[in-house]
Structure 1
Amino acid sequence: IEANHRGQELYGDALKEKNELLESFKQHYEDVEDTTKSAWSDFYKSSKSVIDDAFDYASETADGLKDKAYDTSSQVESWLRTEGDDLYDSFDDHHDGPPHHGPPHHGGPHHPPHHGPPNQTVYQLIAESKYTTKLAKLINKYDDLAETLNNTAANYTVFAPTDKAFAKIPEHAPEPSKEELEAVLKYHVVDGFYPAGRVLASHTAPTLLKGEHLAGEPKPQRVAFKIGLNGLTVNFYSRIVAINIFGTNGVIHGVDSLIIPPPKVVKIVDLFPGEFSTLELGLTKTGLLDEVNSTDHAGGTLFAPSNFAFQKLGPKINAFLFSQYGLKYLRALLEYHFAAGTLYSDAYYKVDPSKNSLMHTEDGKLPPKGVFHLDMPTMLKDRSLSVDVARFARFIEIKINGFSRVSVQDGIAQDGVVHVVSNVIVPPKNIGRPGSTEVDLWQGEEMTIEEFKERLEPFVVKTDL
């Protein structure tokens, strides 16, 4: 990928920024890990806990790291494309990791511990910390969850909200039910061992919260990891402020906001009118909004065109689509954006529970490098989306019908997932003789209203209009 940039004036600056940011991230992780190791060695000499040491250090260094990330955020994805998988392994070397119960996680074996292995479970670490008193109090209300986090038969990763995170809850917010609160707590626990390097290398991860509407049977509700202006975040908003606090049965990362179980797909569309007001208007006018908001579907993937994507169609086609004469075409067009099955950027929940995974293995390892292709049936009768997923290191690109690129991946939803697409996806038209399977895919070229109608005509409901 770097070769494609050679000769460009900005390449040298981008490479410099990449190296500086990489070094900043690595130094941050190394310093936090050194703090944790020091705390292990001094544990019996001090009343301060290991987890408190980690949070103390994180609070001192986070602002500087955030400023650096802000200055170079536009380069983050660029350098991630060039580094390869060894980048992420380097963040997790030289630590006192917990014992592994079963197959090892990705990458080579870690170096031997410097100060001896941890001797407390993730539950015990949370319970003793002055920074997680509210979280510990809530966990203690659920015996099964407390027992799980205190059990050394398996590894877990806890994204632990600090007491300051709970302070963000509005004073007069309604009291959640016992079941709702348990769901929130389970959504903070990832099933498996995800130290900082593996978090960086992953796009999503499965939690202990089961999603009832993601596939033909309950599946783990997932969280998404993103790198942006706020550094490394969970579900776009909860910032990771402390990393790699190791216990005997997993690892803890501190977060500055509660991670709330996601809303439905249509609610996500409603929450961002600046991006999806045109899409929401179309769903409402065609009656699709109520249909896709029901719970009788087993998961789903919405490739959501942004307002800008609709603008690319041009004013004439937009005016036609939202007129009374064009609504049946608008409905067919939008149906083509809803695909069966829940396709994340690095995992796939099929509707058929007997075939639950295409791109991730049962033990949760990352997919191999390469390109994956699948045809996803849509709400539009007899029409599928041709989806290609390409991965190199953390960089994953998704294209639909060979042209429309997913610009924002993994909008986690209660009943599926939302991917923002840079272009409206227009169905292909059959070419050649009648009955031929040869099709002409739209590649973004300018269309007249007549050409646009020709592509959708076979799928519209015949009316008097």
Structure 2
Amino acid sequence: MQLTNIISALAVSTLAMCVSAQSPGATVVDNIKAVAANGTAKEYTLATTLRLASSIEAVVKAISVTDKNFTIFAPTDKAFADFTAANPETIVALTTNQTLLSGALFYHVIPSGAFDPKGAPAKQFVATANTHNYLQVNVEGDKVNLVYDQGNAAVIDSIASSNGIIHVIDKVMTPPRPAPVVAKEAGLTQLLGAVVSSNLTEVATDLKNGTLFAPTDKAFETVLAFAKENKLELTPTLLAGILKFHVVQGAIFSTNIVGSAKMGSLATALAGESLNYTVEGDVVKVYGAGQTALKLSPATVTKTDILVNGGVVHLIDAVLLPNITNAGNAAVVATPAGPGATNAAGMVAVSSMTLMGALAAAMALVM
């Protein structure tokens, strides 16, 4: 089915009533209507944005407020046409499922004010009206580039309005995909397998404003080799504590850390334990009290700011260790040396699937 046919079948909304010329003194809605009806000197129109927004009552209500400023990133009609040609199944799903369409439209809305690139930092992450989902905004001079999960969009025009601003963009942006989908592309194949085998796929798609420091496949291999070499044992309680240590409440981006203090700490999902970090240039290293006690190197953040549904993921090259006692070492007792031997560190040489399955379970703590 063609996009134009789908749109024509949508309910007519009050947004599409009277039309006047665009003006800084007009509201965001009135200016969208004006451009949709009359076009602009830059030869773009916003008819599709208007029509799709008109079909969702919650969107109509959100962009009709006049007592506060907000931002809309509005794709041009050409952007919608290009998106439809490249993603026919996706556009049909969006336009036949109001929940999906509402989420996609709200991802184009910044409710916290009118975004002005003048004086804005070169890189920042902004919360969208699609709850717990973020958008990366890069500014270079008068150029504004938006980075989302599956691509980037450029701002080609801006329309000041009485209750905010419309930034016209050349692409249709899609909200971040669930963590398991993004994990596969990020090379976290073992973690992804653990999520599936642990029946946590549904849970992992519903992250809520969280940050996950995710060890790479190589990091898993390293920690397993360390455990085997040192004949260390890890109890289920201790394992759960260690994995909680990889989860931080709140979305923490590289911009929150790089360029600020040279060192600091972040509260984790493990009660009473904070993850420490150091910054040297653009290099961020993270570690816990357990790594210090065992004289293990900190983990280096190898890739930052991977947007996922409900938060952000940073890849690290080592498994993080908190204070072992606080993580649940009280239940560990000494046994003779051998495959199941324990030591003061309280770690166990377990199979890779056991360790990865437990890490997947830790993801559920903020999901």
Percent of paired sites with the same residue: 20
Deviations 1:246-276 (A, max 9, x none): 2222222233332223233223213x1x622
Secondary structure at the aligned position of 2:49 is classed as: helix
Residue 247 of structure 1 aligns with which residue?
161
Question: Of 264, 282, 285, which aligns to 1:373?
Answer: 264
Question: Of 340, 344, 347, which aligns to 1:457?
Answer: 347
Residue 293 of structure 1 aligns with which residue?
204
Conservation of the 8 A alpha-carbon contact between 2:245 and 2:268? no
Query: Structure 2: how far apart are the matches of 1:243 and 1:427?
Result: 49
Residue 88 of structure 2 aligns with which residue?
171
Query: Structure 1: how far apart are the matches of 2:243 and 2:106?
Result: 34
Residue 257 of structure 1 aligns with which residue?
171
Query: Structure 1: how far apart are the matches of 2:193 and 2:299?
Result: 22
Is 1:125 the counterpart of 2:31 in the alignment? yes
Is 1:425 the counterpart of 2:323 in the alignment? no
Ranges in structure 2 where 5+ consecutive residues have no aligned partner:
1-20, 40-44, 289-297, 330-338, 352-367
Is 1:278 the counterpart of 2:278 in the alignment? no
The alpha-carbon deviation at position 244 of structure 1 amounts to 3.8
The alpha-carbon deviation at position 457 of structure 1 amounts to 0.9
Is 1:234 the counterpart of 2:147 in the alignment? yes
Deviations 1:143-170 (A, max 9, x none): 5533543443211111111222222132
The alpha-carbon deviation at position 327 of structure 1 amounts to 12
The alpha-carbon deviation at position 383 of structure 1 amounts to 7.9
Is 1:345 the counterpart of 2:253 in the alignment? yes
Secondary structure at the aligned position of 1:123 is classed as: helix
Deviations 1:343-368 (A, max 9, x none): 32279xxxxxxxxxxx7xxxxxx999
Question: Of 271, 280, 286, which aligns to 1:400?
Answer: 286
The alpha-carbon deviation at position 303 of structure 1 amounts to 0.9
Question: Of 218, 224, 236, which aligns to 2:136?
Answer: 224
Conservation of the 8 A alpha-carbon contact between 1:203 and 1:226? yes
Deviations 1:295-351 (A, max 9, x none): 5x755321123345557x399569x69xxx99989966982564141232279xxxx
Conservation of the 8 A alpha-carbon contact between 1:122 and 1:247? yes
Residue 69 of structure 2 aligns with which residue?
155
Residue 208 of structure 1 aligns with which residue?
129
Root-mean-square deviation (CA, aligned residues, Å) is: 4.9
Structure 1 residues 246 and 281, CA gap change in structure 2 (3 angstroms): same
Read off the aligned partner of 2:24 and give its amino acid letter.
P
Residue 193 of structure 1 aligns with which residue?
114
Secondary structure at the aligned position of 1:301 is classed as: strand
Deviates more, 1:252-261 or 1:186-195: 252-261
Read off the aligned partner of 2:128 and give its amino acid letter.
T
Read off the aligned partner of 1:457 and give its amino acid letter.
M
Deviations 1:41-78 (A, max 9, x none): xxxxxxxx77xxxxxxxxxxxxxxxxxxxxxxxxxxxx
Conservation of the 8 A alpha-carbon contact between 2:238 and 2:324? no
Conservation of the 8 A alpha-carbon contact between 1:305 and 1:424? yes
Query: Structure 1: how far apart are the matches of 2:160 and 2:107?
Result: 19
Residue 4 of structure 1 aligns with which residue?
none
Query: Structure 1: how far apart are the matches of 2:191 and 2:345?
Result: 20
Secondary structure at the aligned position of 1:457 is classed as: coil
Residue 37 of structure 1 aligns with which residue?
none
The alpha-carbon deviation at position 189 of structure 1 amounts to 0.6
Question: Of 294, 303, 311, which aligns to 2:213?
Answer: 303
Read off the aligned partner of 1:376 and give its amino acid letter.
A
The alpha-carbon deviation at position 188 of structure 1 amounts to 0.6
The alpha-carbon deviation at position 398 of structure 1 amounts to 4.9
Conservation of the 8 A alpha-carbon contact between 1:345 and 1:409? yes
The alpha-carbon deviation at position 134 of structure 1 amounts to 0.4
Secondary structure at the aligned position of 2:253 is classed as: coil
Secondary structure at the aligned position of 1:209 is classed as: coil
Structure 1 residues 459 and 344, CA gap change in structure 2 (3 angstroms): farther
Secondary structure at the aligned position of 1:208 is classed as: coil
Conservation of the 8 A alpha-carbon contact between 1:262 and 1:413? yes
Conservation of the 8 A alpha-carbon contact between 1:397 and 1:406? yes
The two structures have a TM-score, normalised by structure 1, of 0.49
Residue 386 of structure 1 aligns with which residue?
275
Structure 1 residues 161 and 307, CA gap change in structure 2 (3 angstroms): farther
The two structures have a TM-score, normalised by structure 2, of 0.60
Structure 1 residues 315 and 305, CA gap change in structure 2 (3 angstroms): closer
Secondary structure at the aligned position of 2:31 is classed as: helix
Conservation of the 8 A alpha-carbon contact between 2:137 and 2:144? no
